Amino acid sequence: MSFATALREGLMRRRRQLALVAVTILLHLVVFDWFGGQLGQRRGEALPQAEAPMTARLIASASPSPDPAAAPAAPIVLGPPAPPPPLPQIVPDPVPADEGAPAQTDAAAGAVAGGAQDAGAAAGTPVPPGAVPPPDAAPASPAPAAAHENPVAAAATATPPAQDAAPAPTSAPGAPPDLLPNPRRYKVDLPPSADITLDVARTDADGRRWNGEALLSWRVAPSSYRVRVEAGIRVVFARVNLLELTSEGTVGEQGFVPTLTTEKRRGRSLTATHFNRKDGTLTFSASQAKYALSGGAQDKASLPLQLAAIARGDPKQLSGTIDVLVGEDRDASVFTFTVAGQEEIATRMGRIATWHLVRPPKPGSYHSRLELWLAPGYGWYPVQIRNTEANGAVTTQTVSNIAMKEAGSE
CA dihedral (364, 366, 369, 375) positive or negative: negative
CB atoms within 10 A of CB 380: 23
Q: Residue 15's pLDDT band (boundaries 50, 70, 90)?
A: confident
The whole-number pLDDT of residue 117 equals: 41
pLDDT tens profile 204-241: 999 999 999 999 999 999 999 999 999 998 887 788 88
Give the whole-angstrom CA distance, residue 94 versus residue 347.
Answer: 35
What per-residue string of b and e applies to 274-304 under the rule 16 or more CB within 10 Å gives b? bbeeeebebbbebeebebbbbebbbbbbbbb
Q: Is the pLDDT score of 307 beyond 60?
A: yes
Look at 57 and 373; give whichever has higher pLDDT.
Answer: 373
pLDDT tens profile 67-100: 544 445 444 444 444 554 454 444 444 444 444 4
**Alpha helix segments (H runs only) across 188-243:** none
In this predicted structure, which of 41-55, 155-169, 217-231 has the lowest mean pLDDT? Answer: 155-169
In this predicted structure, which of 39-48, 83-92, 150-159, 307-316 has the lowest mean pLDDT? Answer: 150-159
Q: Is the pLDDT score of 168 beyond 70?
A: no
The whole-number pLDDT of residue 43 equals: 43
The contacts of residue 292 (CB under 8 Å, 6+ apart) are: 171, 175, 176, 177, 178, 179, 181, 280, 281, 282
pLDDT tens profile 242-271: 999 999 999 999 999 999 999 999 999 999
In one-letter notation, the amino acid at residue 321 is T
* H or E element at residue 23: helix 3-39
3-state secondary structure of 314: coil
Q: Is the pLDDT score of 278 beyond 50?
A: yes
In this predicted structure, which of 137-146, 251-260, 306-315, 364-373 has the lowest mean pLDDT? Answer: 137-146
Give the whole-angstrom CA distance, residue 406 versus residue 374.
Answer: 22
Share of the chain above pLDDT 90, in %: 53
Give the whole-angstrom CA distance, residue 188 versus residue 185.
Answer: 9
Q: Residue 170's pLDDT band (boundaries 50, 70, 90)?
A: low
The whole-number pLDDT of residue 176 equals: 95
Give the whole-angstrom CA distance, residue 390 versus residue 32.
Answer: 69
Q: Is the pLDDT score of 165 beyond 50?
A: no
Look at 286 and 49; give whichever has higher pLDDT.
Answer: 286
